[in-house]
Amino acid sequence: MIRRVLPALLLAAAPAVAEDGRAVFEARCASCHAVVAGAPPGAGPNLSGVVGRRVGGDSGFGYSPVLEEARQSGQVWDAALLERFLADPEEMFPGLWMGSNALRAAEERAAVAAFLRAAR
C-alpha cells in the first residue's frame, strides 16, 4: 500500500515545491535572470531550460572565465549541481562574476531547482 501511495504523494507535492521555488526565484533571482524561453539575458543569463544545458551554455550571454572553463569541460546543469551552486556560487566557481547570492536554506535550494527543472 505504501509503495503505491508514496509515489502519488511525491508527485502531488512536486507542483507545490515548484511554486515555492517560483516565489523564492522571483524574490532572489529574477532581478538578474529571466526564465521565459526566448527572453533576452539580463545581468545574468536566461535560465529557461537550464537543467540539461551545459554550464555557461546560453549563447547570448558573456560568462566569467570560470564558467567558460566549466562549459568547455562539459559540465551540465542538473538538480544536484544547481542545488550545490545555489548553496555557495563563489565556492563552487571561484572567480565567478555573479555576486554571492547564496540560498542558505536547503528547502529553498531544492524548491528553486524544482522550479528551474519546470522552466522550459
How confident is the prediction for the chain on average, in pLDDT? 86
Name which residue leads in pLDDT, 1 or 49: 49
- Split at pLDDT 50, 70, 90, the class of 12 is very low
Task: Write down the residue that cell numbers 526566448 correspond to.
Answer: 38
- Split at pLDDT 50, 70, 90, the class of 19 is confident
Q: Is the dihedral of CA 65, 68, 70, 76 positive or negative?
A: positive
Q: Is the pLDDT of residue 6 over 50?
A: no
CATH code at 2-118? 1.10.760.10
CA 6 to chain centre: 26
Give SS3 for 30. Answer: coil
Name which residue leads in pLDDT, 17 or 89: 89
Contacts of 43 (CB under 8 A, 6+ apart): 31, 32
Closest CA to 113 of 71, 76, 85: 85
| pLDDT for the residue 13 | 42
Q: Is the pLDDT of residue 48 over 90?
A: yes
Closest CA to 105 of 28, 9, 15, 6: 28
Q: Is the pLDDT of residue 70 over 80?
A: yes
